[in-house]
Amino acid sequence: MTSATKDAIKDWFTGLGRGAILCQQTIGSICTIKPEWRNVVYQMYFIGVKSQSVVVITGAFTGMVLCAQAYFQFHKIKMDTATLAMVSVAMGSQLGPVLTSLMVSGRVGAAITAELGSMRVTEQVDALRTLAAHPIDYLIVPRSMAMFFVMPLLTAESICIGILSAYILAVFFLGINQTYLWYNMLHYTNGRDIFAGLIKATIFGMIIVMTACYKGLSCRDGAEGVGQATTEAVVFSSIGILISNFFLTMMLNRLLGQP
């Protein structure tokens, strides 16, 4: 093993440890210090309201392409009316939270990292410490709380839009009987699928905001450092979402009693 590889592994574990410490400090700050709700509400607006367009477009076209592909396969075995049931289960438990989180990671995670990275480069973070304002309390806690509240709502919106767009496509363009289509969806879609998706979305949101804040506060000086930190935040949070989705799926299926 070369020295460069050893240094890379060492840096990775060091960053993992520092990220864990940042998470611990953030949770401790949320539990012990009263947050500034004005900042929390603004971050909820920035994360939630301004992400409506990407969430709606992602949910709508994901639902339609799932519906079309399911119809093409189910039509071969005369199971057309099961199309919407497959779309609702897939959107509720898997694609809804995952794709919504990836879109939010690309839009919000990059913005948070760039903002905090610029503040660090221009020594605004040090100025906060000089004014006896801890950066975690002032910068990370409002974003973390806003992400915690907003991500399940964005995911629920994406799921609803996806199912609605799939229903419109199936009924008005593919000619599937709407009565049996709707009945099968309600029959085969379990509330635990939606609940699992919302739990995943909450955890994915924490992965996004913690990764973005850590990369922003630990970036190197200069514009190049800010750009590299922004890229790493989006890449690492996206990889974390995809990896954690597998383990959360296995754990939630066992905990919620799904087969």
| pLDDT, tens digit, 9 for 90 and up, residues 38-75 | 889 999 999 999 999 999 999 999 999 999 999 998 88
Average per-residue pLDDT in the chain? 87
Does residue 109 lie within any of the structural domains? yes
Which position has the token pair 């299926």? 253
For residue 60, the number of C-alpha atoms closer than 13 Å in the C-beta half-sphere is 7
Does residue 39 lie within any of the structural domains? yes
Q: For the whole model, what pTM was predicted?
A: 0.91
d(C-alpha 219, C-alpha 228), whole Å: 8
Does residue 115 lie within any of the structural domains? yes
Amino acid 257: pLDDT: 67
Does residue 3 lie within any of the structural domains? no
Does residue 10 lie within any of the structural domains? no
d(C-alpha 156, C-alpha 140), whole Å: 25
Count the helices and strands in the chain (H runs, E runs): 12, 0
What percent of the chain is modeled with pLDDT above 90? 50
Does residue 130 lie within any of the structural domains? yes
Amino acid 7: pLDDT: 67
205 burial type by CB count under 10 A (0-12 exposed, 13-18 middle, 19+ buried): buried
Indicate the number of domains in the chain.
Answer: 1
Domain residue limits at 233: 26-255
Does residue 132 lie within any of the structural domains? yes
Q: Taking phi first (over 0 means left), then psi (-120 to 50 degrees means alpha), and beta for anything else, what does residue 222 get?
A: left
Judge whether residue 223 has pLDDT over 80.
no
Mean pLDDT, residues 138-162: 92
14-34 pLDDT per residue, tens: 777 787 888 888 888 888 877
Does residue 12 lie within any of the structural domains? no
